[in-house]
Amino acid sequence: MNNQELISQAKAVLSNSYSPYSNFKVAAAILTENGIVYTGVNVENASYGATICAERTAAVKAVSEGERKFIKIAIISSSGEFTYPCGICRQFLADFMDDASEVILSNDKGEEKVFKFGELIPGVFRGEDIK
């Protein structure tokens, strides 16, 4: 699957974001090694700390279906600008993405930025570090 197709899948769910507090909608689409795409949006909560980001929503959906390896993730937002995954999402995704996996950001001009996952979180702490 090419990057534009993955971005399109994220765009298709952006309006599902539940963001009444920040009005900052985010959507993500994850491609797994099995060729399946899982999408997610941010879901805010009045207690703020219970809010979940779009990246983790998509990841949890994938993992709950038995997926354990993500090839790439596309992220978009209502800001119109490139929206990077937060630190919690980067650490969370580290269990399912290797350093060569791709992170694709898109803005409202149709421009893309593509990073290797390892570029966004160098020296990441991984589960095998505690074994």
Residue 110's alpha-carbon distances to 13, 31, 85, in angstroms, are: 17, 20, 18
Q: Is 2 helix (H, G, I), strand (E, B) or coil?
A: coil
Residue 57's alpha-carbon distances to 1, 38, 64, 130, in angstroms, are: 21, 9, 11, 25
Q: Which residues are catalytic?
A: 55
Tokens describing residue 93: 């995704």
